[in-house]
A = this chain, B = another copy of it.
Amino acid sequence: MRIAILLYDRLTALDAVGPYEVLRNAPDAEILFVGKEKGEVRAGAGTLGLMVDRTFDEVPSADILVVPGGAGQVDAMKDEEILSWLRKIDKTTTWTTSVCTGSLILAAAGLLDGRKATSHWLALDQLPAFGAEPTDRRVVFDDKYVTAGGVSAGIDMALALTDKFAGDVAAQAIQLGLEYDPQPPYDAGTPTKAPAQLVSMMRENSKYFLTGT
């Protein structure tokens, strides 16, 4: 099973690495890190270099596509080379997936029109501009399109997806292998659970997500 994970500059590393770490343990998985050019992209604010091993031309098809989000998503949404590859590979996939603001890139490629989808909670309200229906769940399945919430939600998305295509034993084995028995110190992982003042503060500071600046 061929799994293509898109890499681009200023992606959020965990958006890509969470699903990678789950899916690479799925039966017969072959993971390909794909981008515009072979070589390094820098994640986050430039802190971590991740390697693109395959160019778009080298990966015209895949069983599963994973599109991560991150600050670079704003530029990726305007990058016709990225968008046209997404449209092309999507025609071949069994599952087209995204994590965090990766759904906005899929949406910009026209792939979420009329679909239920999710994104990072700070970006959810940007989906309707592309014809997608914002759906406030951590993982949203709509036909073959699977979108996950912010950053860490990619782990849950990939486990739920593994459950669909490889069954419950495979999903549980991977969960146990990753010792995924989460114990966050606070119950503050969504805007409905976090302190209201913190949510407001983060909305105030979220121009980054809204405009990319």
Contact = CB atoms under 8 A, between A and B. Distances in A.
A184 B156 contact: yes
A194 interface: yes
Interface stretch (A10-18, A87-95, A109-117): A10-18
Interface residues of A, number: 63
Given A17-B14, A48-B20, A51-B49, A138 B181 contact: yes
A175 B183 CA distance: 12
A149 interface: yes
A61 B202 CA distance: 33
B191 A176 contact: yes
Interface string A120-139: 11000000000000000011
Interface of A: 12-14, 17-18, 20-21, 24, 31, 33, 40, 44-45, 47-51, 53, 100, 120-121, 138-139, 149-153, 155-156, 159-160, 163, 168-169, 171-173, 175-191, 193-195, 198-199, 201-202
